[in-house]
Amino acid sequence: MRRLLVVLLASLLVFVGIAAPIVLKAADVHPHGYPTVEGIKMMGKVIELMTNGKYKVEVYASGQLGDEKEVIEQTIMNAIQIARVSVAPVQTFYNPIGVFTMPYLFRDEDHYWKVLEGPIGEEILKGLEKIGLVGLCYYDAGARSFYTKKPVQKPEDLKGMKIRVQANEVMIAMVNALGATGVPMAYAEVYTALQTGVVDGAENNPPSYYTARHFEVAPYYCLDSHTRTPEIVLIPKALWDKLTPEEKIIFKTAAWASAQYQKYLWKKMEEEALAAVEKGGAKIFRPDITAFQKLMQPVYDKFPQYKDLIQRIQAVK
Ligand code: GTR
């Protein structure tokens, strides 16, 4: 009798539309307040609102659900439903996306967005389905540059240094081409690795350099802007396939809207971060970028699989 009552009550709740929401777990390595985390929160709110509460997005910030490689694996298995990661570590799972981590690939910011939000960017998002993921949109991550414990103002200064990179082959090759050694390592471990001298430097954009407080332990920031590696928002294909046609539009639209918001927050934080690290004692160098760029040919030679894509990217005006 009691069981029957429970079943009846549960079906009634479903009927009047107050069933327990389907929880979607979202992962990000950055803390609350960081543009990517706030972007995902906005996307979650739009999804919740537009589906009348059928879905609820719970955001796990600061790497609570693991490093990016683990998060990607879990998202493929539908144990995590929203992954906001850099495209760099996605390369191991889907090689073509690694093209976006090639050094000095994009002419400028305008070119970057034209490529990402044009047919090539769309094609890469679509290709992710082959590994069980659906790419919803890209987020801004500006340009990455080196920061070190000893000053680096030109490529020669990097010689012999150990530089932490993301789990990405192009990044290792890029650092090696400059005469240093690329050491892949999880983001959460970088602070201690710098502090204890396990590595001599790392590389990232100003908001990461600032919020992860790496400037405290590697105070020389050399703005060589070697890569413009975008961020990406991924969901499991298993989840996508279960969505109704209407829900698919809601998810896509929510992601698109959140990208506009994230880009706005990004611009603000990029400037604030540079000022903040300087205030915190970091020294910023603006080097001759062509000196770095000139040494990148071996990286291009090492990844012939990207040749066609690179040509198409360069042709985007
Ligand atoms: C940041 C990026 C993170 C993570 C990190 C890293 O710029 O937003 O997703 O990839 O870099 O270097 O590990």
144-227+281-315: which CATH topology? D-Maltodextrin-Binding Protein; domain 2 (3.40.190)
- pTM confidence score: 0.94
How much distance in Å is there from the Cα of 10 to the middle of ligand 1? 43
What pLDDT is stored for residue 94 in this prediction?
Answer: 98
pLDDT at residue 128 is higher than 70: yes
With a pLDDT cut of 90, the percent of the chain lying above it is 94
Residue 10 has pLDDT above 90, yes or no: no
The class level of CATH for 2-141+229-273 reads alpha beta
pLDDT given at position 16:
55
Question: What is the average per-residue pLDDT within 120-134?
Answer: 98
Q: Does the pLDDT of residue 9 top 90, yes or no?
A: no
* Residue of 68, 82, 234 to mutate, ligand 1, most atoms within 8 A of C-beta: 68
Parts of the chain belonging to CATH 3.40.190.170: 2-141+229-273, 144-227+281-315
Read off the pLDDT band of 19 (50, 70, 90). confident
> What is the tens place of the pLDDT at every residue in 234-291?
999 999 999 999 999 999 999 999 999 999 999 999 999 999 999 999 999 999 999 9
143 band by pLDDT with thresholds 50, 70 and 90: very high
CA 86 to centroid of ligand 1, rounded, Å: 6
Give residue 24's pLDDT. Answer: 98
Give residue 229 CA to ligand 1 midpoint distance, Å.
Answer: 9
Ligand 1 pocket, residues with Cβ under 6 angstroms: 29, 68, 85-86, 88, 141, 166, 187, 204-205, 208, 231
Q: Is 115 a residue whose pLDDT tops 60? A: yes
3-state SS of the chain is CHHHHHHHHHHHHHHCCCCCCEEEEEECCCCCCCHHHHHHHHHHHHHHHHCCCCEEEEEECCCCCCCHHHHHHHHHCCCCCEEEEECHHHHHCCHHHHHHHCCCCCCCHHHHHHHHCCHHHHHHHHHHHHHCEEEEEEECCCCEEEEECCCCCCHHHHCCCEEEECCCHHHHHHHHHCCCEEEECCHHHHHHHHHHCCCCEEEECHHHHHHCCHHHCCCEEEEEEEECCCEEEEEEHHHHCCCCHHHHHHHHHHHHHHHHHHHHHHHHHHHHHHHHHHHCCCEEECCCHHHHHHHHHHHHHHCHHHHHHHHHHHCCC
Residue 194 has what pLDDT? 98
Per-residue pLDDT reduced to its tens digit, 199-242: 999 999 999 999 999 999 999 999 999 999 999 999 999 999 99
